[in-house]
């Protein structure tokens, strides 16, 4: 089987993807509260050029096709932005790990 297509397309660059004839799902869900916060956060990151829109989009590509396929839209965004912030050395893995534990504890969740 030819591997050419793997090279020609990034995983989330799917225009004209051969063999995709699945019908379009026209149901729409109202935006969840956390999704709105996520959207606002990423907009503000773009305004400050801390992580711009194109970096965030490339960050999504770097998640790979499995994560792109399984995560929801805003799940991809926040993971992409986190990875961009880590790569730029703006945030560090330890502090994200500690902070997520702290936030989870507020809700009596153990991560």
| Residue 98 to residue 110: CA distance in whole angstroms | 12
> Mask: binding to other proteins, 13-52, rule CB under 8 A, as x and -?
xxxxx--xxxxxxxxxx-x-xx-xxxxxx-xxxxxx-x-x
Minimum CB distance to other proteins, residue 58 (Å): 10
Q: Token pair of 108, please?
A: 């009596």
CA dihedral 106, 86, 83, 95 (to 10 degrees): -10
Task: At 39, list the tokens.
Answer: 């959207």
- Measured distance CA(25)–CA(23) in Å, rounded: 6
Phi first, then psi: what are they for 29, rounded to 5°? Answer: -105, 140
Q: How far apart are CA 84 and CA 18, in angstroms?
A: 30
Binding mask 58-97 for other proteins (x = CB under 8 A): --x----------xxxxx--xx-xx--x----xx---xx-
**Interface size with other proteins, residues (CB under 8 A):** 61
Q: How far is the CB of 4 from other proteins (least distance, A)?
A: 17
Provide the binding-site residues for other proteins, judged by CB under 8 A. Answer: 12-17, 20-29, 31, 33-34, 36-41, 43-48, 50, 52-54, 57, 60, 71-75, 78-79, 81-82, 85, 90-91, 95-96, 99-100, 102-104, 106-109, 111
């Amino acid at each position: 089987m030819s591997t050419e297509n793997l090279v020609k397309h990034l995983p989330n660059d799917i225009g004209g993807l051969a063999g995709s004839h699945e019908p379009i799902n026209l149901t729409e869900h109202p935006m969840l509260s956390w999704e709105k916060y996520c959207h606002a956060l990423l907009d503000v990151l773009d305004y400050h050029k801390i992580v711009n829109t194109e970096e965030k989009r490339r960050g999504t590509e770097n998640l790979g096709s499995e994560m792109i396929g399984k995560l929801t839209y805003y799940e991809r965004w926040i993971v992409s932005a986190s990875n961009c912030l880590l790569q730029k050395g703006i945030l560090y893995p330890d502090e994200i790990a500690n902070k997520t534990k702290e936030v989870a504890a507020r809700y009596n969740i153990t991560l």
